[in-house]
Structure 1
């Protein structure tokens, strides 16, 4: 993708694994549900379910265990996972924010950039509220707004619309391969957060938001 760094006018963040350490809670819930069906999914499955919607995640988890579920059973398993996840969220707080999250949001806000959230989670607003960062966001697009799961680009396209920018003017911060693919399909510049091997399709990959090249990405907005 062509470097349009000087033209970037907005930032769009995934939630789980980028801003807040909730990916571990999702995986804890899926692992517990899988255990109730008699199998233990591996770490490769944990990576595969990152960023995808609930229906796709059920299929990925149970396929890994060789367990075939009918449509009704899949809904039961998904609801069970959500019940467990909601229980774990009760203890979530600002201590669960990932390194660089607040500092990045503070910097972008100081530079006058609109900030959006693009998450598959239906609990995104609760997570933002519990961790104290909800007020940083000018647009929140989550699983209650968009039904198409990543890598479908819909969540990123809608976030760009709500922020008042074209997709290529936005930088997306993502930790999941499905999210990276969806953001690229939307036409956004993508910063991967995590493993370069998993996120090779991103334009840039960094270990965490602490090392995100904000000045380079948003040059024309730097005072």
Structure 2
């Protein structure tokens, strides 16, 4: 029985992918690397440092940068990203998400967040949703990012439930792999999962309850 729902953030609750893309593209250009939107898709759901390493490897310059360099470059990207986030508002919640969250709450279903973004609390405040989330897993406190299952396990722990009583919602293959790695039932938004939906507007308690059958 579903007692808790664990959301990814980007591409499920809101879409800040455009901001990530602008910030990564600008940083890559400074380093003499050109990336496009197709390459940016491969960064979906991947932690910041791993994304940067992927960009450096793509540009064939990984060996030029020390771990300290990489940390400072990742921080630089994040500062630009945070400036871009200032534009975010309640209007940027994806279709049907707030209604779905309200439906879950009215049925006493716990809500957790399993996002690799350290900016998740800031984003949820901008969207005026933070008070509706029972627990936000801290990505800096888990050993491995997606596709490892650690952050989903932590989110389930945070809402006080066994994995078998939870369902996770993702839009990235790495996230679905993470859920499968801990036997959490999965809903995919535009990505293959235990239950695959075309968009967030299709989400409802009745729809995800199909996973109980």
TM-score, normalised with respect to structure 2: 0.92
Counterpart among 13, 25, 29 of residue 31 in structure 1: 25
Contact 1:156 1:182 in 2 (8 A): yes
Partner of 1:114: 110
Counterpart among 58, 74, 94 of residue 64 in structure 1: 58
Counterpart among 195, 206, 213 of residue 215 in structure 1: 206
The answer to whether 1:13 aligns with 2:4 is: no
Gaps of 5+ in 2: none
TM-score, normalised with respect to structure 1: 0.88
Gaps of 5+ in 1: 1-6
Quote the Cα distance in structure 1 between the aligned partners of 2:209 and 2:128: 25
Quote the Cα distance in structure 1 between the aligned partners of 2:124 and 2:78: 17
Quote the Cα distance in structure 2 between the aligned partners of 1:20 and 1:145: 23
Give, in angstroms, the shift of residue 142 of structure 1: 2.9
Contact 1:117 1:142 in 2 (8 A): no
For residues 220 and 45 of structure 1, do their structure 2 counterparts lie closer, same or farther at Cα, with a shift above 3 Å needed?
Answer: closer
Contact 1:48 1:60 in 2 (8 A): no
SS at match of 2:139: coil
The answer to whether 1:136 aligns with 2:132 is: yes
Give, in angstroms, the shift of residue 147 of structure 1: 4.7
For the aligned residue pairs, the C-alpha RMSD in angstroms reads 1.8
Contact 2:149 2:179 in 1 (8 A): yes
Give, in angstroms, the shift of residue 158 of structure 1: 0.9
